[in-house]
Structure 1
């Protein structure tokens, strides 16, 4: 009932509710995303097998001013700004988070060129201008303890994650020179893998 009154209320009430909701969502981002582990990525390109391990989101950076919430029936977010590109249904709350960066430290990268021994190096990578588009819908849940009342709970209904740029840091060692031969492909492969893994993890959030 409180949710419906806020959504259907005055612009001031809607903006206040969206701002309050944004605070909770940022808290959820900061508590959830840093704990996400990304599975290793492996493949083969130009006769060279590769693996990248030790991926996680512990060094992601999210601020409240990078997140906006678009309520059902509204084109504006918590800041009252320009309409967002709504992707969900009319009852879906849309979360947009953009301009986010993340560092991936102590990555273990392994290459196995054909007819050559495997080489390994430990390095870092940085992702910039990450964007999250998350749809949230309400679910009615019964209360425990014998209560006859039910409560609304938000659940994730859709997720899109994109990364504008990702760069793996290379040095001038022999291993670094070998990685440089496929670095363009490796950057793109790792970027797509991280986005897909985050989408899968966030869709299964309770």
Structure 2
């Protein structure tokens, strides 16, 4: 089983990175292969709605020459995609938004001359997030956006782990670490169920 983590924080030692560590450790201990893509280190152009991708059914088909090719490849190999992002102004970070826009069109061939396939149909997805407010207040808008994104893309949204910022040490607390590990177990179990 393979999990692709799209990490959208703009800081190296961010709160989201701290929460992601026990999540990834648990996945690996359970036997999952993990691809961890640090989006701030990638050159990702924004989608310009040129629609060139929509008439290419055998792959994403985006004509832009940037690092999305690698991301498309890893997402297609994955059984589950984890969107890991802090919340900025009630939504994800700019690199995460750029990737999500490129994925939603590159993977969903709904808008061309002929309606085509959904290239990532049936994959699981989930959310790892941190924010400055209570989680439902701070991350609720983005989670609802991700739910709608998943429905549109025929992805199976399996939930989230989210922690409010109460200082860096809090992300190393027992409750934060246990929450991250528990969500990783849930992700892994959902993949096991898929392949039973």
TM-score (norm 1): 0.29
Based on CA coordinates, which of the two structures has the bigger radius of gyration? Answer: 1
Q: Which one has a larger percent strand, Structure 1 or Structure 2?
A: 1
